[in-house]
Amino acid sequence: MTDANKLTEIETQVMRMLWDRGGISASELVMNLPASERPDHAGALDLLRSLVSKGAATRHQSGRNVVYKPKLNKETARSHVLGRLFESPANDGDADGGLNIIVLRESDVSPQDWADLQAERAEKARRRDG
């Protein structure tokens, strides 16, 4: 797996745009982010290039425009987020004290996602311990 499971909050927000729209240019990204989070064009390009380097998006030439499209699907991203949530110890000795807070929108996780993830984690624990 690539670094797609290490997306920052703003990168995750950009991925939601990519999933919703199917693709986006740097100019469209600038226009569609909230004013408080809006980067300049160069910053938008940096965000999109970071998603490409992490394996979460791809770059496509569309005429004179460059369009970035999602490579990572929502389900895989959701699984990564949930996996980090379950695997992160409360205090793992990090400089920040190991406190990890992940904010999920209600629509990001279904009850079935939670159940599936818990079953997967239980199976991994059984294999590891047995």
Per CATH, is 3-70 categorized as 1.10.10.10?
yes
Q: How confident is the model at residue 91, as a pLDDT?
A: 42
Q: 85 — phi, psi (to 5°)?
A: -60, -45
Find out whether 57 and 7 touch, Cβ atoms under 8 Å: no
Could you tell me where in the chain the CATH 1.10.10.10 domains are found?
Answer: 3-70
Task: Report pLDDT for 43.
Answer: 93
**Averaged in consecutive runs of 10 residues, what is the pLDDT profile of the chain (130 residues)?**
68 89 93 88 94 93 89 73 56 44 55 74 82
pLDDT at 36: 86
Neighbours of 48 (CB within 10 A): 23
In whole angstroms, what is the distance from residue 46 CA to residue 121 CA?
Answer: 35
Of 7, 37, 33, 1, give the one whose Cα is nearest residue 108: 7
Global model pTM greater than 0.85: no
Q: CB–CB of 18/57 below 8 Å?
A: yes
